[in-house]
Amino acid sequence: MQNNRITELFGIEYSIIQGGMVWVSGYKLASAVSNAGGLGLIGAGSMYPDVFREHIQKCKKATNKPFGVNLPLIYPDIDKMVAIVIEEGVQVVFTSAGNPNTWTSKLKAHGITVVHVVSSIKFALKAQEAGVDAVVAEGFEAGGHNGREETTTFTLIPMVKEQISIPLIAAGGIASGRGILAAEVLGADGVQIGSRFAVSEESSAHIKYKELITELQDGATQLTFKELAPVRIVKNNYYQKLLDLYKTHPTKETLQVFYNEAKLKTGIFEGDVVDGKIEIGQIAGLIHQVQSIKEIMSDMITEYQAVKKQLN
Ligand SMILES: Cc1cc2nc3c(=O)[nH]c(=O)nc-3n(C[C@H](O)[C@H](O)[C@H](O)COP(=O)(O)O)c2cc1C
């Protein structure tokens, strides 16, 4: 993998970013990815402010390589989280789920590199105008919350590439060296990976969650809750109950109650994989074992180089 705009922007060896993930990406995962030459991100979305600060401090001790944080902008105490980022001297912030205009200039005024996650050309342009240093364009294959339009990574990346001039990071459906190379061919300068890293030893997800994902095949997830905020979840018992609810033509309020009742913590962190809400990407079908971050990174990079050589 060659040096490019992304490796230079973050001062990392490989243009591979570990996406921020609620209940999954604490300092152990983030520091492991950074130590392996990528960019690890602490996912602030599932942390209280004091826990978030603790993870940043532990991450600084666990790695001397660059790392960052993901701040979902809908977070209720977002101003507190931004204050912590600045106080702790965090150098890189990936914002998602919100308006990039709100915090970008403040973060940049403190010398922080800011990247925003988008799912369309419109929002990529908006992020570029807001002054971010790069965008993550995330296709509908991705785990977690997603765009309403179901635009796939394969179509989104070249379309966004055509419109923006700042560095472009592809996300959604990438979990292998082949995937990374494909994203580059489509015009990406780097990749953000979630699902495959969620099934690592260093991920803080429950072992039952990790084991479930290794057994999934194609078609095992569905993008749903489109009336609220679209999210990709596993078709387990919880999903069946949701389908039953949809048959009754629920109001948005009823759907919201159903959504709020099932906590992601119960499914991902505590391991209730049958009745819990389980987020993972479509690429789950390619993830067959729980591995260490070192193994995952080395597998992906070796495959990337081998496939590239073959093509040449
Ligand atoms: C369990 C889980 C939790 C996630 N939580 C967040 C989050 O808190 N903030 C965010 O911006 N993206 C979140 N994501 C999306 C990832 O950061 C990443 O962009 C996505 O997983 C990439 O697609 P992939 O799963 O196909 O690799 C989450 C994804 C998963 C699987």
Residue 312, pLDDT score: 86
Q: Are 274 and 266 in contact (CB under 8 A)?
A: no
C-alpha 297/C-alpha 294 separation (Å) is 5
Residue to mutate, 16, 17, 22, ligand 1, most ligand atoms under 8 Å from C-beta: 22
Query: Which band of pLDDT confidence, cut at 50, 70 and 90, is reported for residue 249?
Result: very high
**Mean pLDDT on 75-88:** 96
What is the Cα Rg of the chain in Å? 18
Model confidence at 276: pLDDT above 90:
yes
Residue to mutate, 195, 204, 213, 218, ligand 1, most ligand atoms under 8 Å from C-beta: 195
Q: Are 97 and 231 in contact (CB under 8 A)?
A: no
Residue 60, pLDDT score: 98
* Residue labelled with tokens 């996650």: 117
Ligand 1 closest atom vs CA 281:
25
C-alpha 294/C-alpha 304 separation (Å) is 15
Over residues 106-137, the pLDDT tens digits come to 999 999 999 999 999 999 999 999 999 999 99
Residue length of the chain: 312
Could you tell me the distance, in angstroms and rounded to a whole number, from the CA of residue 193 to the centre of ligand 1? 8
Model confidence at 1: pLDDT above 90:
no
Q: How many CB atoms lie within 10 A of CB 253?
A: 8
CB-based pocket (< 6 A), ligand 1: 19-22, 24, 43, 45, 70, 72, 96, 117, 138, 141-144, 171-174, 192-195, 198, 268, 279-281, 283
Q: Using DSSP, how many helices (H) and how many strands (E) does the chain show?
A: 14, 11
* Buried-exposed string 238-250: b where 16+ CB fall within 10 A, e elsewhere: bbeebeeeeeeee
Residue 175 corresponds to which tokens in the numbers above? 């979990």
Over residues 4-50, the pLDDT tens digits come to 999 999 999 999 999 999 999 999 999 999 999 999 999 999 999 99
For domain 5-205+286-311, give the CATH number.
3.20.20.70
Q: Are 81 and 20 in contact (CB under 8 A)?
A: no
Q: In terms of Cα–Cα distance, which of 144, 95, 94, 150 is closest to 119? A: 150
Q: Where are the beta strands (DSSP E) in 51-104?
A: 67-72, 92-96
Ligand 1 closest atom vs CA 46:
8
Over residues 194-215, the pLDDT tens digits come to 999 999 999 999 999 999 999 9
Residue to mutate, 17, 18, 21, ligand 1, most ligand atoms under 8 Å from C-beta: 21
Q: Are 69 and 97 in contact (CB under 8 A)?
A: no
- Name the region of 269 (left: φ>0; alpha: ψ -120 to 50; beta: rest): alpha
Q: Are 263 and 273 in contact (CB under 8 A)?
A: no
**Mean pLDDT on 235-257:** 96
Could you tell me the distance, in angstroms and rounded to a whole number, from the CA of residue 75 to the centre of ligand 1? 15
Identify the residue whose C-alpha is closest to ligand 1 atom 6. Answer: 21
Where are the domains positioned within the chain?
5-205+286-311, 216-282
Over residues 177-199, the pLDDT tens digits come to 999 999 999 999 999 999 999 99
Q: Where are the beta strands (DSSP E) in 38-187?
A: 40-43, 67-72, 92-96, 113-118, 134-138, 144-145, 168-171
Query: Which of helix, strand or coil describes residue 93?
Result: strand
Residue 195 corresponds to which tokens in the numbers above? 């699902």
- Amino acid 82 reads V
The chain-wide mean pLDDT, for the chain, equals: 97
Residue 2, pLDDT score: 82
Identify the residue whose C-alpha is closest to ligand 1 atom 7. Answer: 21
pTM value > 0.95: yes
